[in-house]
Chains A and B, each alone.
Chain A
């Protein structure tokens, strides 16, 4: 089957200038995302995890196209999105929609809910009669669990969970093929998180959507996604089926990440051994040589500083970027 989205060697670098430097001094390069490749099948959900600053959001924005990629291809249904003219690109944008972390900030405070949800529709199908637009907005509001008679209200009159539903409705009105969720539940209450995630899963199943789901909460990612990709400093460390990754991670970073998820049982939580990650994420302005994780890796060896580890297929579509990988049984992440 041809993948819906196929990302090859995607890199995003930003130019960073010291304030007050001369215009002709070459800027330093910040490598936010380096050489990331993955495929997304129609109807599949890919989870992306990693700590803050690992490039998750930058990767998502590069795929959506709000940040230009500096290298690599993003093939969407066989079209290379990265090398398109802005005008062509705008036409393609209807198939990829995005849901954001802060639900209120993602809604224009001066527009009514109806106008917000209708905006993609009005943009891409400008001739639609107003009654038809309104009808579709109301249907969709009902679909995501909002009362349609609130269509003339303003975003500040809604709760966080409701605002996120508005965001979801806006993302769905054009019936896109791919939805990118950038930590859609991180800003919400735990009880509301569950509602929003279940809503997303139900919509994904019913509408046959593909989804890229970014989170730093592994239990959430495991619950919703079929496959998971672990990012560290903009590089892919490991990718595998979510079930396999959360129970038998191979890469030392994934193992540390999973071990840091708390288990809601004090006895088990206290008893389990955990490799604790020390130190901070290195600066993406000067990433470590060789394997970027070696500065914090419990299994690091001298060769790690010299050779950049390639992603290695260890069977069953399970890719690991560590020559010293070994499966480690971890206590199942609940979810």
Chain B
């Protein structure tokens, strides 16, 4: 009855064979990503920027909040970028070392972006996957909550929050965390609706796997491709968002700073010839955002080869 009896007997010996390592879809995506030159260059740029934010402080000759009073009033010729004075990027209009401040600003901007994206990935994905998996009334209720939150003009609410509860970086994180997951929840829910009708999910239900485990083991890993792409594209949006708030003067407060706050300061003095006060923060801002967009693009091509 058994058609390939011989083959099966051969299997007995094959038990001794070494186990073959499979190529997961993640490994395939990694190969495709590293073939994309623009994405790889952007990834390296991002790492350099992150390295600058993390370790740049060690090379700074001055503290970021040290005010060099001797420079006030003579910024135009004494505060220019120079290696000799130790002000590599020059000084700001208050006589503070711009290099140290750019290091700090880049760090905070990156942190804002990454925290926003992380909240989006964790809360948004789980929320959306749960809503999509349970469907029906649960789905309706959960997604209407998202709709209601989305209809609130968040910039306005965030500005109110910062004014009422005081301007602190914690409030900024809270505000960004509150909005960032909404879009992600919608995306995750939409994807879950297609995944939950696949047969492997039905098998898991029929086998008696707990719904929480089905979401975590079968649905979320299959969502992750899209979620990662969206998250990398979300990071620069969050950085821009924070910069806008800081540009308005409501975000990060002195002596701490962010790229948006630095650009704001620089924009006020650039007409007097202090070009470096806007050029250096702007350079890091643009490089970071471009790099994130290119990496996101590369990830999308790598994780979703059909949609290219």
Please give the residue numbers on chain A whose beta carbons come within 8 Å of chain B beta carbons, in ascending order: 61, 64-66, 89-94, 96-98, 100-102, 105-113, 119-120, 123-124, 138, 142, 145-154, 156-157, 167, 170, 194-195, 198-199, 201-202
Q: Is B206 in contact with A112, judged by CB distance below 8 angstroms?
A: no
Give chain B nearest CB distance to A192 CB in angstroms.
10
**Interface SS of B by simple majority:** helix
**Could you pull out 17 A-B pairs where Cβ atoms are within 8 angstroms?**
A96-B206, A108-B200, A108-B221, A109-B25, A109-B222, A110-B222, A111-B217, A142-B15, A145-B4, A145-B8, A148-B11, A148-B14, A149-B20, A152-B19, A153-B20, A154-B24, A154-B25
Q: Is B203 in contact with A100, judged by CB distance below 8 angstroms?
A: yes
| A93 closest partner in B (C-beta) | B208
Q: Which residues of B contact A202 (CB under 8 A)?
A: 1-2
| A154 closest partner in B (C-beta) | B22
Q: Which residue of A66, A152, A154 is within 8 Å of B205 (Cβ)?
A: A66
In the assembled complex, the Cα of A195 lies from the Cα of B207 at a distance in Å of 25
Q: Is A157 in contact with B22, judged by CB distance below 8 angstroms?
A: yes
Please give the residue numbers on chain B whose beta carbons come within 8 Å of chain A beta carbons, in ascending order: 1-4, 7-8, 11-12, 14-15, 17-26, 198-200, 202-210, 213, 217-218, 221-222
In the assembled complex, the Cα of A66 lies from the Cα of B2 at a distance in Å of 32
**Interface SS of A by simple majority:** helix
In the assembled complex, the Cα of A107 lies from the Cα of B7 at a distance in Å of 24
Q: Which residues of B contact A123 (CB under 8 A)?
A: 207-210, 213
Taking A112-B24, A124-B208, A142-B15 as given, write out 15 further A-B residue pairs in contact, using a Cβ cutoff of 8 Å, ordered by the A residue number.
Answer: A97-B206, A98-B203, A100-B199, A100-B202, A110-B26, A112-B22, A123-B208, A142-B11, A148-B14, A150-B19, A150-B22, A154-B22, A157-B23, A170-B203, A201-B1
Q: Which residue of B8, B18, B210, B218 is within 8 Å of A108 (Cβ)?
A: B218
Which 3 residue pairs across A and B have the least CB separation, nearest first? Answer: A93-B208, A153-B22, A90-B208
In the assembled complex, the Cα of A92 lies from the Cα of B4 at a distance in Å of 34
Q: Is B1 in contact with A198, judged by CB distance below 8 angstroms?
A: yes
| A138 closest partner in B (C-beta) | B15
**With A66-B202, A102-B199, A151-B19 as given contacts, are A108 and B222 in contact (CB-CB < 8 Å)?**
yes
Q: Is A198 in contact with B2, judged by CB distance below 8 angstroms?
A: yes
| A67 closest partner in B (C-beta) | B202
Q: Is A194 in contact with B1, judged by CB distance below 8 angstroms?
A: no
Most A-side CB within 10 Å, residue of B12, B203, B209, B218: B203
**With A64-B206, A149-B17 as given contacts, are A110 and B25 in contact (CB-CB < 8 Å)?**
yes
Q: Is B200 in contact with A106, judged by CB distance below 8 angstroms?
A: yes
Q: Is A94 in contact with B208, judged by CB distance below 8 angstroms?
A: yes
In the assembled complex, the Cα of A65 lies from the Cα of B218 at a distance in Å of 19
In the assembled complex, the Cα of A167 lies from the Cα of B209 at a distance in Å of 16
Q: Which residues of B contact A153 (CB under 8 A)?
A: 20, 22
Q: Is A147 in contact with B14, judged by CB distance below 8 angstroms?
A: yes
Give chain B nearest CB distance to A210 CB in angstroms.
16
Q: Is A120 in contact with B207, judged by CB distance below 8 angstroms?
A: yes
